[in-house]
Structure 1
């Protein structure tokens, strides 16, 4: 729990500091950083042959998740790079997940993003169900679509909400689809 609080505080602090930066008269930010925060929901299902193995009496480890993310992107013309922290509360076999990842991808339209990601993820299982704690690499990709991409360009400008759909795998031993809303500053 202390690890989760530390990761969450650092992620929120970084996003808040980036959002508080003064903007230039043309609306651009120093260094071009685009901070964001978001909430996603999804499901994490591990293979029977993963490092978690079979949980006695319960089969393969699985669980629904609700996740908070915070990060920043650096646009580089038609491409971008970024960093993101996450913390998720799990249900069923998963207690908590938290981690950090890098992202790189392409801009699509006025507010859309197509990206690949990679980073390190910690998974805390519910010990009462025989599912222990693990950490390993997390790989994935996803898309973000904003209002500008569906014809609502005047609603929020370049900032505002975007729908995110992402798919990740924990060291190629699990499936972790997530969907939610990301708020860009």
Structure 2
């Protein structure tokens, strides 16, 4: 008999906890899948330790970038994990970059995110620089409309401003900024 009472109490407790956790601070579900796409712009500069080396004419590779990203976050209450891919067009010494990475972090405020990331990135050089591939590490923040006083415009989904900084095997710096659209 005590097993039935215990099971009923446990089921009631789980259903009460689940109904209390129906939404996260930004109005989205605390568990599920949150897809997103975005456009970022930035700059990638390699240093002297880079495996790219020098092309003998101008020094070490660098150049402006424009990047398209797509990914998915899996919220876990106040935390989240996710995966993201990018295709990036470079200018000057970098022709294309593309890669995939995992992200983990926590929700901040009503619609913000703070995260760290790690993954693999391929870089196609031009102007005498060879193609390379290696691990990329990074950190970033996303700020949604509710965090800057525009909560009534989009609700829980919509655009977020993203600022991130990555490094290609600690041999480069790659600051990026742009807009990410969450669904």
TM-score category, normalised to shorter length: 0.7 to 0.9
How far did residue 153 of structure 1 move?
1.1
Q: 1:166 to 1:28 in 2, by over 3 A?
A: closer
Match of 1:114 in 2: 114
Structure 2 CA distance for aligned equivalents of residues 60 and 180 of structure 1: 26
In structure 2, stretches of 5+ residues that fail to align are 1-22
**Pair 1:149 & 2:147 matched:** yes
Structure 1 CA distance for aligned equivalents of residues 35 and 86 of structure 2: 14
Structure 2 CA distance for aligned equivalents of residues 139 and 157 of structure 1: 31
Contact 2:28–2:156 at 8 Å: present in 1 too?
no
In the superposition, the TM-score normalised over structure 1's length comes to 0.82
Match of 2:32 in 1: 32
Counterparts of 1:157-168 in structure 2, within 5 Å, are: 157-168=155-166
Higher radius of gyration, 1 or 2: 2
SS at match of 1:148: helix
How far did residue 56 of structure 1 move?
1.1
How far did residue 28 of structure 1 move?
6.3
The C-alpha deviation readout for 1:64-115, integer Å capped at 9, x for no partner, is 0000000000000111000000010000000000000000001001110000
Structure 1 CA distance for aligned equivalents of residues 55 and 49 of structure 2: 11
Match of 1:3 in 2: none
Counterparts of 1:30-109 in structure 2, within 5 Å, are: 32-109=32-109
Match of 1:18 in 2: none
- The ranges of structure 1 where at least 4 consecutive aligned residues each deviate by more than 4 angstroms after the TM superposition are 26-29
In structure 1, stretches of 5+ residues that fail to align are 1-25
Structure 1 CA distance for aligned equivalents of residues 49 and 72 of structure 2: 35
Q: How many residues align?
A: 159
Counterparts of 1:3-18 in structure 2, within 5 Å, are: none
In the superposition, the TM-score normalised over structure 2's length comes to 0.83
